[in-house]
């Protein structure tokens, strides 16, 4: 099986071209491939496929390192876009792609910088079964029994954003692991820890569901800025510093799509026997 290894701010991916051949990997095979000691090693696996609807240029599927399929990945979207370009699968500088639940528009710039139209963020609660234990106020949710104040945002995948005074001392693993698969979020959730430097600059650490803390999470950066704008504590264009580097997020507010801009890098191509 041929593959490409790529990363977006250190959030790393294996990308497989399934346009001209059918490749199926079981959850156990994906787990083996994601092992950084005995496999290739990656945070997520991306399958590039033919469009399921002719209005799109491509479709792609996203799998976490434990083999579970997920809905969205911001850094993965940028790597997907660069993969399509360097493999000469399109001559377009603007492409439209579909994922499990959403569609994205990807624009290429020089120096491997890519902008992704992530569509409009949504602040949803309908997949949370324990609403009776929650107080909702100004896009903030209070978990009474945990004494945790956060914003819940969907970028096609779910995010729990917690504002902290300093990300260096934030209990990322402890709280992230506790909330990731709590009864509040039966399908799991990504947990972001946001430190506001000023209205145009934040720092962010992310505990991703099924993965743990990663170097970067593009969709969490989008969700964090969206939460801050909805609460009127952030400007509509924000620099987000993650462990692996920085992204620029722009959102004009409700009724408008959100845009993420940042780099993607091709590391190497390889072949592995399954």
131-256 and 2-119+263-268 share a CATH fold: yes
Q: pLDDT tens digits for 118-146?
A: 999 988 665 555 555 555 666 677 765 66
Q: Is 166 a catalytic residue?
A: no
Residues across the chain:
274
**Which member of 18, 73, 79, 222 is catalytic?**
73
Whole-prediction pTM = 0.88
CA distance 64 to 76: 11
- At 223 the pLDDT is 95
Strand partners of residue 111? none
DSSP string for 7-39: EETTEEEEEEE-SSS-----HHHHHHHH-TTTS
Question: Rounded to 10 degrees, what is the CA torsion of 146, 147, 151, 155?
Answer: -20
State the pLDDT at residue 156: 85
Q: Exactly one of 150, 160, 217, 222 is catalytic; name it.
A: 217
Whole-angstrom Cα distance, residue 186 to residue 227? 22
Fold of 2-119+263-268: Diaminopimelate Epimerase; Chain A, domain 1 (3.10.310)
- Mean pLDDT value across residues 235-263: 96
**What whole-number percentage of the chain has pLDDT above 90?**
72
**Does the annotation count 217 as an active-site position?**
yes
For 155-201, what is each residue's pLDDT tens digit? 988 899 999 999 999 999 999 998 888 877 878 899 999 999 999 99
Domain residue extents for the chain: 2-119+263-268, 131-256
3-class state of residue 87 by DSSP: coil
Q: Which CATH architecture has domain 131-256?
A: Roll (3.10)
């Amino acid at each position: 099986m041929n593959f490409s290894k790529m990363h977006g701010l250190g959030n790393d991916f294996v990308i497989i071209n399934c346009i001209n051949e059918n490749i199926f990997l079981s959850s156990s095979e994906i787990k083996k491939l994601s092992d950084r000691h005995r496999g290739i090693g990656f945070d997520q696996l991306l399958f590039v496929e033919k469009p399921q609807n002719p209005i799109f240029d491509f479709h792609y599927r996203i799998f976490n390192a434990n083999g579970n399929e997920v809905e969205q990945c911001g850094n993965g979207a940028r790597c997907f876009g660069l993969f399509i370009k360097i493999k000469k699968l399109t001559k377009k500088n603007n492409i439209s792609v579909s994922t499990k639940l959403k569609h994205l528009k990807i624009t290429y710039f020089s120096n491997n910088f890519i902008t992704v139209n992530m569509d409009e963020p949504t602040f949803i609660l309908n997949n949370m079964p324990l609403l009776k234990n929650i107080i909702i106020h100004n896009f903030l949710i209070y978990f009474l029994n945990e004494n945790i104040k956060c914003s819940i945002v969907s970028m096609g995948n779910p995010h729990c954003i917690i504002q902290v005074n300093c990300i260096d001392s934030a209990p990322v693993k402890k709280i992230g692991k506790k909330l990731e698969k709590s009864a509040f979020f039966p399908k799991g959730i990504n947990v972001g820890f946001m430190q506001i430097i000023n209205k145009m600059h934040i720092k962010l650490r992310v505990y991703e569901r099924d993965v743990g803390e990663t170097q970067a999470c593009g969709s969490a950066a989008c969700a964090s800025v969206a939460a801050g704008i909805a609460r009127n504590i952030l400007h509509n264009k924000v620099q987000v510093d993650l462990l692996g580097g920085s992204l620029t997020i722009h959102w004009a507010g409700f009724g408008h799509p959100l845009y993420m801009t940042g780099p993607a890098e091709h590391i190497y191509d390889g072949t592995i026997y399954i």
